[in-house]
Amino acid sequence: MTDLSIGNWNARFIRRAVAAAIGALALVTTGAQALTVYSAGPDELIRNLAEGYERATGVKVDVFQADTGKVMARLEAEAANPRADVVISASWDSALDLHQRGWLLTYQSPNAAKVPALYKGPSYVAQGLSALAIAWNPGSGTPRPQDWSDLAGEAFRGKVNMPNPAQSGTALELLSGLQAAHGADAWKLFGELKAKGMNISGANAQALNPVLQGAKAAVFGAVDYVTYGAQAKGEKVDIIFPSSGTVVAARPMMILKSSKAQADARKFIDYVLSDAGQTAVARVYLIPARSDVAAQRPGLDSFKALPPADAQERAGRQALLERFTELFARR
């Protein structure tokens, strides 16, 4: 299966991410016997999972937490001397790529029996699921959007943010899913959004914060669990699943074959897929990977999901990213 290679991420972003990952972010704890987990947010979830695992096993967990781009950049930078044991990403493509490259340990947790086949493979399994949505501030003075195309209307001129797909794996998955589903019409929409001044704004939180603060009206491609979390804190924001469909983003977990703590790494995957681990996943408003654990937000049956990506779609994502970046770089 051909897939988006880590080495093909936007070059400028890789250089910046490697520097940031190595120079600015540090492991949370230290210890020769610790299990090292690299995780693409949410920070609250990995912190709770690490603490729960430590209580259950007595094994300390070192955590490097960042966005997907920085996690993947750090893995690439450390390829000659790997440090991570377990990796949790927000991009399913990253798991497929690492599997293709032979970096991952084959492991099927017994606790993955209730994870749908679509969300697990020989060396990776979903931690949880999210979907991409419109996050809309009802106090913005704009009409309530129902579909992606509504954000290209005149009422939303200069009032829409989108996470940068060079930094957000889920944003790239959304672009890819929309192109696969709608072809040229998707690019017509991207052009209209550009013409109406849609701003490409960092990773997911950076895109959402101005909407919560009232500086913007909506996010095109908000990660739903982040927005549900903001709602739970009292923020005035609505989550709207577009009528034409959206992308489900699975968050893969994987063990590096280079790990010197493979037994503990397997136990960590088992813990995340245990009742306690999946309950922690649900508490941050992700949909649990296990179908027998209840979510604390609307589930997969509450919106129209676009078909999952195939190998051809994934293989074209680097070209898609370059085309999109070029479009929004034009004056």
What residue numbers does the annotated binding site for Fe cation cover?
225
Instruction: Give dist(CA 126, CA 132) in Å, integer.
Output: 17
In the chain, beta strands by DSSP E: 35-40, 61-66, 86-88, 124-136, 160-162, 199-200, 218-223, 238-240, 248-255, 287-288
Place of tokens 């019409």: 185
Residues 256-292 as b/e (b if ≥16 CB within 10 A, e otherwise) read bebbebbebbbbbbbbbbbeebbebbbebbbbbbbee
In 201-263, beta strands by DSSP E: 218-223, 238-240, 248-255
Instruction: Give dist(CA 282, CA 295) in Å, integer.
Output: 5
Contact 139, 234 (CB under 8 A): no
Please give the annotated binding residues, written as ranges: 225
Instruction: Give dist(CA 89, CA 106) in Å, integer.
Output: 17
Interaxial angle between packed helices 317-329 and 184-195, expressed in degrees from 0 to 180 and rounded to the nearest 10 = 30
Helix (H) or strand (E) holding 16: helix 11-23
Instruction: Give dist(CA 155, CA 19) in Å, integer.
Output: 40
